[in-house]
Structure 1
Amino acid sequence: MTGPILLIVDYNLSRIDEVRYLRDYARERHGATVVLIRADPTEADRSIADEVVDLDPLRDDFTEMGEKLLGGMRERIRAGIVFSDNAVRSGAELLERLGLPVDSPRLAEGAFSKYRYRLGEADVADLLAAQRIMVPAFAEVASLDQLRDFMRDHPEGFIVKPVAEGNNRGVAMVRSGDDLTSVFAEMLPYLEDGVICEEIIPYRREYSFDGLGSLAFLTEKISARGRYPVEVAQVLPARVNARERSTLERAGRQANWLVGQCDGPFHNEVKLSDDGLRAAVVEPNRRPAGMKIWSLARWVYGIDLHHRWVDTAFGTASEAERLVPGCSASTVMLGVGSDRSFSPDDVGADADPFADAVRATAERFGLAEGELTVTEFSWLSPERRDLHAVARDNADFAAQGCVVLRGDRADIRTVVHALREAWLDALDSALALPAPLRKAR
């Protein structure tokens, strides 16, 4: 290898296409080769980078080992980015030690540990209260007795969730009268890394404050109701008035301050009160948003944040521009109509259930050709999995799809709900062989 190096520290496997996209742009725009740090790398990892370093970002000695393993190429490393929650602190420490610009390593732990973030909020609770930002009561729990204690203090109910876990895995709503023994049994897989209980945030609407550096936008989240508040869709642009926008941006920026974000990416989940005056942070993230939100931004605002991230790392990014939406777009999670064992191979070879669902939805709203279009579709896994009709986390869906809506004859939020219903009918019609749930869970 010759020329400058872009160092990418870790990524979540579901985002392999984004790493490939970053690599291609780094090569084209900056003439760079890409070195990826990842634990137990596979051939897939080696296919998206010029060189792969086998190192786990959760190792206690990650920074020291990373510096040692990169020693032979250190003089050529010109830029670095951290692309996973697991590496948000250790990756930032490594980039800082290599002399690369990076957001604060010391504060980064708050973007990985939900418990650490709540502690940070508690330290400045008076300041946040003055900004009408709620700090929910919370406690780390490791036993059934501690779970019962939290219920006694919060009889109206609470949220239980892993300290460090993504995709809504392990998140559950606990209400008065629920069987806490069963709740604790669901927590068992996450106890080793930590579990917390949180007071229910009494605000119904949820958004995310997304962006890179000083460039920010608001994304509207649609979540399922009930015990498992799973994200079922993301919508751009968010439908908010000036007061609501100000409140959400204020909450989103304070989250960035608490976790040390300055120049890098962020995805801060925020709930908003009905009157638009109060907010509470669900959780912060110092990485690009999932569910294709940066892709939605590209279609809606015409800006490529992945490219801008690479340019920022190399110090060549242009001045931030004002974001003006040209259309609306959404990423939609697509499930199954009944509990079943499912594989994409169950779908007939010539079938295209998402296209069928989009077509049926467009007809339902009287949309002309080209007003509602498919921009992306993917099965979440090629493997056979047992899926629930009522999804427990984002891995419990069969697929995800993205659509763009042009014109003003329909609202994207109404379209999303209709599309998810149409998908279930289209999928049932496309299944070549019925496959009942193989085992109860």
Structure 2
Amino acid sequence: GGGSHYGLPGITPAEARAGLDKPIFRKLEAAAEQSPEDYRPVFSVRIESLAELRQRVVELGGKAFIKPACEGASRGCRVIHHPSECDEAWQALKPYREGGIVLEELIQNAREYSWDYVAGSTWVTEKTTTEGAYRAEIQQVVPAPLAADVQARLAAAGRHMSGLVSQANGAYHNEVFLRSDGLTSAVETNMRPGGMHIWDLARLAFVDFDPWERWVRWAVEGKTDPRDPVARGYCGIRLVRAPAGGLLRYVPDIESLARDLNIELVEAVYTKRLSDSVTALVKDNTSFIGHIVLFSEDYAQLSDNLLRLADAIESRVEVTSLAAPARAAG
């Protein structure tokens, strides 16, 4: 894969497929002879028709999670709360049917984390997803604030997942559920840096640690360093939503809002421009209008600042509605 032609370290094509194709990972997971004590495989099945979807959702107790087999950025992922939602969900996944559709048991009331790995060093990232029909990631914090035993459980799950797909990759971003009963389950495995700037957050959160530089050193020299980075504080990113659907008419200046709230800003970016089309229904990561990055030595303070600043921005954003104009009476 990629580098083996030039004698660079890397993964085999079969390992790459397991990292990209979610059903292959679930097969490997189900077949594993050993797994961590607190780890539970997730029931998962490929769906070929609407009739099959209905039948499987009923078998799973009327609730399930459906997603494309080979997409990223939360695209197409949705929750089915009741068998009556199958028709609409099947219709919505039409663009992805060629690549395959996967149905999984719905894991409820779980917290989501990722086990992030680069060239021997690992940490756990806390992720927050939107509520509702679609599950899109809206916030990430590095490192996740965890008790030592929970940290160990999530790390064991992440390491187990990486071992299922490949022993020899330089980067992993393995998404893990921490269930309400304290057990762990895999969301999915990715043999790449985490999205949503996770490596940039890590560079800011940890002392003397640059994931990108480590990755390059691993790729060029095959160098790994099994020491985990030491945190100097917490770094978080939160995505910003549009308050309504339509055309973006006005956005506030985030720097001055942050100053007014006495919040130190690391980064603020609008990804949508004025007069761009925006939506209030967050379906995936492209539905957001921008993001903020903040740092604090205190997790509770960071958490509060991310929410306060995002609220301040979102409540000031103005959108021109595209509702049909009322016809003049006549």
TM-score normalised by length of structure 2: 0.90
Match of 1:436 in 2: 321
Match of 2:328 in 1: none
Question: C-alpha deviations, 1:240-277, integer Å up to 9, x for none?
Answer: 1111011100110011111104341110110112353x
Which residue of the other structure, out of 376, 396, 400, is the alignment partner of 2:287? 396
Match of 1:180 in 2: 86
Instruction: Tell me how far apart the structure 2 counterparts of residues 409 and 190 of structure 1 sit (CA, whole Å).
Output: 39
Instruction: Give the CA deviation at 1:202.
Output: 3.7
Percent pairwise identity: 27
- Where 1:240 maps in the other structure, the secondary structure is coil
Instruction: Tell me how far apart the structure 2 counterparts of residues 376 and 411 of structure 1 sit (CA, whole Å).
Output: 17
Question: C-alpha deviations, 1:172-211, integer Å up to 9, x for none?
Answer: 0001154321111101010011111100124511100012
Instruction: Tell me how far apart the structure 1 counterparts of residues 322 and 288 of structure 2 sit (CA, whole Å).
Output: 14
Query: 5+ residue gaps in structure 1?
Result: 1-91, 363-371, 429-433
> Given the alignment of the two structures, is residue 332 of structure 1 paired with residue 222 of structure 2, yes or no?
no
Match of 1:355 in 2: 255
Which residue of the other structure, out of 107, 123, 127, is the alignment partner of 2:34? 127
Please give the residue correspondences for 1:313-392 in structure 2 after superposition, counting only pairs within 5 Å: 313-315=219-221, 317=223, 319-342=225-248, 346-347=249-250, 351-352=252-253, 354-362=254-262, 372-382=263-273, 385-392=276-283
Which residue of the other structure, out of 201, 210, 232, is the alignment partner of 1:296? 201
Which residue of the other structure, out of 419, 427, 431, is the alignment partner of 2:309? 419
Match of 1:113 in 2: 21
Query: 5+ residue gaps in structure 2?
Result: 325-330
Instruction: Give the CA deviation at 1:411.
Output: 2.9
Instruction: Give the CA deviation at 1:334.
Output: 0.5
Instruction: Tell me how far apart the structure 1 counterparts of residues 187 and 202 of structure 2 sit (CA, whole Å).
Output: 22
Match of 1:229 in 2: 135
Match of 1:270 in 2: 176
Instruction: Tell me how far apart the structure 2 counterparts of residues 166 and 201 of structure 1 sit (CA, whole Å).
Output: 19
Match of 2:212 in 1: 306
Matched-pair contact (CA < 8 Å) for 1:160–1:197: yes
> Given the alignment of the two structures, is residue 189 of structure 1 paired with residue 95 of structure 2, yes or no?
yes
> Quick one: which amino acid aligns to residue 28 of structure 2?
G
> Given the alignment of the two structures, is residue 169 of structure 1 paired with residue 169 of structure 2, yes or no?
no
> Quick one: which amino acid aligns to residue 281 of structure 2?
V
Distance 1:117-1:204 versus aligned 2 partners, 3 A rule: same
Match of 1:283 in 2: 188
Instruction: Tell me how far apart the structure 2 counterparts of residues 409 and 227 of structure 1 sit (CA, whole Å).
Output: 29
Which structure has more helix as a fraction of its residues?
1
Distance 1:409-1:387 versus aligned 2 partners, 3 A rule: closer
Match of 2:9 in 1: 101
Instruction: Tell me how far apart the structure 2 counterparts of residues 263 and 107 of structure 1 sit (CA, whole Å).
Output: 9
Question: C-alpha deviations, 1:358-393, integer Å up to 9, x for none?
Answer: 33544xxxxxxxxx4222222334585533223111
Instruction: Tell me how far apart the structure 1 counterparts of residues 49 and 275 of structure 2 sit (CA, whole Å).
Output: 34
- Where 2:264 maps in the other structure, the secondary structure is strand
TM-score normalised by length of structure 1: 0.68
RMSD of aligned residue pairs (Cα, Å) = 2.3
Distance 1:259-1:409 versus aligned 2 partners, 3 A rule: closer
- Paired residue total: 323
Instruction: Give the CA deviation at 1:220.
Output: 0.3
Instruction: Tell me how far apart the structure 1 counterparts of residues 300 and 255 of structure 2 sit (CA, whole Å).
Output: 18
Matched-pair contact (CA < 8 Å) for 1:162–1:170: yes
> Quick one: which amino acid aligns to residue 426 of structure 1?
R
Instruction: Tell me how far apart the structure 2 counterparts of residues 145 and 284 of structure 1 sit (CA, whole Å).
Output: 29
> Quick one: which amino acid aligns to residue 339 of structure 1?
G
Kindly indicate whether structure 1 or structure 2 has the higher relative contact order, using CA contacts under 8 Å at least 6 residues apart: 2
Distance 1:287-1:383 versus aligned 2 partners, 3 A rule: farther
Instruction: Tell me how far apart the structure 2 counterparts of residues 414 and 376 of structure 1 sit (CA, whole Å).
Output: 17
